Structure 1
Amino acid sequence: MRLYFAIPLLFFTIAAQATVYKWVDKDGKIHYSDKPIENSEAVEFKSNTQNQIQLNTPKAPPSNDDQKSLTEYNLSITSPAEEETIRNNEGKLTIMARISPDLEAKHVLVLLMDGAVVGTPQTSPIFSLKDIDRGEHNFVIKAVAQNGKQLASTPPRKIFLHRAIVTRQATPTPFNGGN
């Protein structure tokens, strides 16, 4: 069944490639057509006859900032360990990282906790946090250039923070036997 459709389709595509004819009228104007006219001749197109436009886009010269940003940092969180449980009732937590080579003057480190930036960017790889809610948290440290371009990032580090909550229990009242 498919063969019945394929054969006419094949003939149709062959016929669709029409020949182009060229002729000159009595005023000397050149005309082109897909139908043969008296005194016309078939035009053969070569593969290099196709219209192909290539635009050369100028490249901006690299600025000094871009050249300095080419530093490739190796960045990793060293403490706390992956899935470590931290017990601190005040919600204090210290995240330490290792970076090599040393951070350049125009670059900073940013700490993200659960996908949101925590604190201000800094050059030290030690982040001290306080009043962190208890529970599971994911931390990522990123090295960033002044223009906001990310230069390096640590893999996410999952930690658990436990905080004891002291709640006052209701004091039991004695039962008076219905009085």
Structure 2
Amino acid sequence: MRLFAACLLLALALPAGAQIYKYTDAKGNTVFTDQPPQGVASESLDLPPANTVQMQAPPPAAKPQADGSTTSAQSAAPYRVLRLINLPSEEALRANNGSFSVDVELQPALRSGHRLRLILDGKPYGEPSTVPRLQVVNADRGEHRLAVEVLSGDRPVQQSEVHTFTVQRVHTGSPALRSRP
């Protein structure tokens, strides 16, 4: 049975390597065929090789851990892009009350069961959320480090690059802000 299947596959592959002929028929139409015409001048065509696509290797299979959970390369970093956006790059962030929002760029979209949480100055900040716009409230003036992490339950899955920026707040004891009599 295997020999028959192999012969059948070889027979099917033969036409793929066949020669192509081109000629003009009696009505002036150009004809392409895999068999040379009888009694008509024809031209043998050399075709470029067909395009091929290499099959991609499947992602590595999940490996069982001692605690019964599984890990894979995808679970190690499930997001190709995870970064904070809309933060100042060169200048100070002016937030007179110390409150501001930052956006999170994720690719692919946030998975079910995952939540986002800010890391402010190396410590978790605020409640985890599924919304990619997070808010910092009443941050002290001065330099801060901010990142975002993805949580699965209470376990961190992935963290963004840390951004350093400065919050500029107006000092309310400033003589310029005092009311004049």
Relative to the length of structure 2, the TM-score reads 0.52
Task: Tell me if the contact between 1:107 and 1:143 (Cα under 8 Å) persists in the aligned partners.
Answer: yes
- AA paired with 2:144? H
SS in 1 for 2:92: strand
CA contact (8 A) 1:91 1:134 kept: yes
> How many residues end up aligned between the 2 structures?
109
Corresponding residue for residue 121 of structure 1: 128
Question: Deviations for 1:77-127, whole angstroms, at most 9, x for unmatched residues?
Answer: 111133441112111111111011111121111101001111111111211
Match of 1:146 among 141, 147, 153: 153
Structure 2 counterparts to residues 13-162 of structure 1, below 5 A? 70=75, 72-73=78-79, 74-146=81-153, 148=155, 150-162=156-168
**Alignment gaps of 5+ in structure 2:** 1-63, 176-181
- Partners in 2 of 1:153 and 1:147 — Cα distance? 14
Distance 2:89 2:162 in 1: 9
Q: Is the 8 A contact 1:113 1:137 kept in 2?
A: yes
Q: Whole-Å Cα distance in 2 between the matches of residues 155 and 59 of structure 1?
A: 28
Identity %: 25
The alignment status of 1:166 with 2:166, answered yes or no, reads no
- Mark the CA change 1:84 to 1:152 in structure 2 (over 3 Å): closer, same or farther: farther
Say if 1:77 and 1:141, in contact at 8 Å, map to a contact too: yes
Secondary structure of the corresponding residue to residue 82 of structure 1: coil
1:40 match: none
* Residues 61/109 of structure 1: CA separation in 2 closer, same or farther (3 Å cut): same
Alpha-carbon distance in structure 2 between the residues aligned to 1:133 and 1:61: 42
Report runs of 4+ in structure 1 exceeding 4 Å deviation: 58-63
Query: What is the DSSP-based 3-state SS (H/G/I as helix, E as strand, rest coil) of the residue aligned with 1:133?
Result: coil
How many Å separate the matches in 2 of 1:154 and 1:80? 14
Contact 1:94 1:127 in 2 (8 A): yes
Q: CA deviation at 1:168?
A: 6.2
**Alpha-carbon separation, structure 2, partners of 1:162 and 1:137:** 11
Contact 1:83 1:160 in 2 (8 A): no
TM-score by length of 1: 0.53
Q: Secondary structure at the match of 1:160?
A: strand
Contact 1:93 1:130 in 2 (8 A): yes
Structure with higher Rg: it is: 1
In structure 1, the gaps of 5 or more residues are 1-57, 170-179
Partner of 2:13: none
